[in-house]
């Protein structure tokens, strides 16, 4: 009989930033179904939705807690990680999912928008990664998954702030990987394309049809498909994959 290798995250402690809704929530639920303990991070403005997510997680029979913190604020993140470790004993998995978007043309560049996007999308993952690495290095185990984007791979009109932040995140992924590979820590990135979320569905129907017509698979991705990819990279069995970027775009970028 063939030996079956399963993806294992049972009893692993996963800290998911921006985990109260959207893709972050999908990742939290997927990890919980595989037996992980979930530390949901979000900002105070999203507290109600985040608490609802925590209740959903607990109904699945796993331990889950909400930790409010702005990922762009170092002191807040450091305090959050201390509290997560006090509550769960350790952090095994970090998913840097929290992100914001501001559209704008570069020749009309708005510095305030640039700085806002960079603070959450790039500075945030740096601060969060730096906060969990000491304990991960000490325990000799860690999985870090960064949410990059299709916009980091191809030029998309009007996405200069967002694309640059997500491209920088790929660079952070690779350096984190190479600096921590001997400590049992992997760091990889996901680069999703267009996802079927509430935010995406706010665009006019004719615009959505144009976008879908360009995707070889002929549809947007479901949040669960991104979550399953995150699960793959967060699992014990992915120890030989580090510094990689996994594209999830239906063939739009190959």
Task: Please report, in angstroms and rounded to a whole number, the separation of the first and last CA atoms in the chain.
Answer: 37
CA distances from 193 to 36, 64, 82, 163 (A): 26, 29, 34, 12
Catalytic residue among 162, 194, 240, 253: 162
Note down the domain range covering 213: 13-247
For the domain that residue 138 is a member of, what is the CATH number? 3.40.50.720
Residues 72-99 have a mean pLDDT of 98
Residue 43 lies in a domain: yes
Residue 253 lies in a domain: no
Residues 140-165 have a mean pLDDT of 97
Residue 6 lies in a domain: no
Summarised one tens digit per residue, pLDDT across range 186-226 is 999 999 999 998 878 888 999 999 999 999 999 999 999 99
What is the predicted pLDDT for the residue at 198? 80
Summary mean pLDDT of the chain: 95
CA distances from 200 to 14, 33, 221, 247 (A): 27, 26, 11, 19
Q: Which of 1-10, 41-50, 163-172, 236-245 has the lowest mean pLDDT?
A: 1-10
pTM to 2 decimal places? 0.95
What is the predicted pLDDT for the residue at 6? 60
Residue 4 lies in a domain: no
Residue 5 lies in a domain: no
Residue 92 lies in a domain: yes
Phi, psi dihedrals of residue 11, rounded to the nearest 5°: 70, 5
Please state the domain count of the chain.
Answer: 1
- Of 177, 160, 87, 91, nearest to 131 by C-alpha is 91
Q: Name residues whose C-beta falls within 8 Å of residue 91's C-beta, 6 or more positions apart in sequence.
A: 13, 15, 39, 81, 84, 85, 132, 135, 136, 142
Whether the predicted pLDDT of 51 surpasses 50: yes
Residue 40 lies in a domain: yes
Task: Give the dihedral of Cα atoms 64, 140, 238, 87; nearest 10 deg.
Answer: 0
What is the predicted pLDDT for the residue at 7? 65
What is the predicted pLDDT for the residue at 200? 84
253 catalytic per annotation: no
Residues 55-74 have a mean pLDDT of 98
Summarised one tens digit per residue, pLDDT across range 166-181 is 999 999 999 999 999 9
Residue 254 lies in a domain: no
């Amino acid at each position: 009989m063939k030996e079956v290798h399963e993806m294992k995250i049972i009893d692993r402690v996963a800290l998911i930033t921006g985990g109260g809704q959207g893709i972050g929530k999908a990742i939290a639920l997927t990890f919980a179904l595989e037996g992980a303990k979930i530390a949901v991070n979000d900002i105070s403005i999203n507290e109600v939705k985040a608490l609802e997510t925590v209740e959903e997680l607990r109904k699945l029979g796993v331990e889950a807690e909400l930790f409010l913190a702005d990922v762009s604020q170092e002191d807040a993140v450091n305090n959050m990680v201390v509290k997560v470790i006090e509550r769960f004993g350790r952090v095994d998995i970090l998913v840097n999912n929290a992100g914001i978007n501001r559209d704008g043309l570069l020749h009309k560049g708005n510095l305030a928008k640039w700085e806002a996007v960079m603070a959450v999308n790039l500075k945030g993952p740096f601060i969060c990664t730096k906060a969990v690495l000491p304990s991960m290095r000490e325990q000799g185990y860690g999985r870090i998954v960064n949410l990059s984007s299709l916009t980091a791979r191809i030029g998309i009109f009007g996405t200069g702030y967002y694309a640059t932040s997500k491209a920088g995140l790929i660079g952070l992924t690779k350096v984190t990987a190479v600096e921590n590979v001997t400590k049992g820590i992997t760091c990889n990135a996901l680069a999703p394309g267009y996802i079927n979320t509430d935010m995406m569905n706010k665009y006019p129907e004719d615009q959505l049809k144009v976008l879908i017509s360009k995707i070889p698979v002929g549809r947007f991705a479901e949040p669960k498909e991104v979550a399953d990819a995150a699960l793959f990279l967060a699992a014990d069995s992915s120890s030989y994959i580090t510094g990689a970027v996994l594209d999830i775009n239906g063939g739009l970028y190959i």
